[in-house]
Amino acid sequence: MVKTALLIIDVQKSSAGNSPLCVRIEKLQESYGHIFVSKFVNKDSPLLKLTGFKGYEDETLCFEPAPHAFVFEKNVYSSFLPEMERFDEVHLCGFDTDACIYKTALDLIENGVRPVILSTYCASETEAFHRAGMALLERNIGRQNIR
């Protein structure tokens, strides 16, 4: 049996706004026994200084994490944690397809974990960025790892 976890990446009010994805991702949690939830925080982020990214004004999640979810903060693109190496597959969803989801998927592969992108549960600031992220994911992790 494949040991699977769900990783919800940066689904915060500043990134998601009033996106229907918030409600859909909250419901998606019902299908998983192991859930990780990352939250991007501005504190000491090299991204703010090096890229000009302004960070999130509202770091609050736009959904209620499941009671058994492990919620953690990060200040970089990747949401990879060494604890994820206990799983055969980590299913990814959230924001932004072209940045944090993409980087996390590559980090999972490099640490021996199969990333599975739940494409209808992913988004970016613009549809063009989302499509670009999906194209790069297909190229670099394989179409078979996108659902």
CATH number at residue 53: 3.40.50.850
Q: How many structural domains does the chain have?
A: 1
Taking the model in full, what pTM does it have?
0.94
Q: How far apart are CA 30 and CA 128, in angstroms?
A: 30
Structure tokens of 122?
């992913």
Task: Quote the mean pLDDT of the chain.
Answer: 93
pLDDT tens for residues 58-89? 789 999 999 999 999 999 999 999 999 999 99
Nearest Cα to Cα of residue 98 among 56, 62, 137, 67: 137
Candidate from 1-10, 41-50, 97-106 with smallest mean pLDDT: 41-50
Q: Residue 43: which pLDDT band, with cuts at 50, 70 and 90?
A: confident
> Is the predicted pLDDT of residue 10 greater than 90, yes or no?
yes
The answer to whether 9 touches 104, Cβ cutoff 8 Å, is yes
pLDDT in tens, 83-138: 999 999 999 999 999 999 999 999 999 999 999 999 999 999 899 999 999 999 99
Q: Is 45:55 a contact under the CB 8 Å cutoff?
A: yes
What is the structure's pLDDT at 56? 74
DSSP secondary structure, the chain, as one string: ---EEEEEE--BHHHHTT-THHHHHHHHGGG-SSEEEEEE--TT-HHHHHH-----S---BSS---TT-EEEEESSS----GGGGG-SEEEEEEE-IIIIIHHHHHHHHHTT-EEEEEEEEEE-SSHHHHHHHHHHHHHHH-GGGB-
Q: Which residues form the domain of 118?
A: 4-145
The pLDDT score that the predictor gives to residue 69 is 98
pLDDT at residue 131, rounded to an integer: 97
In angstroms, the CA 137 to CA 133 distance is: 6
- pLDDT score of 78: 97
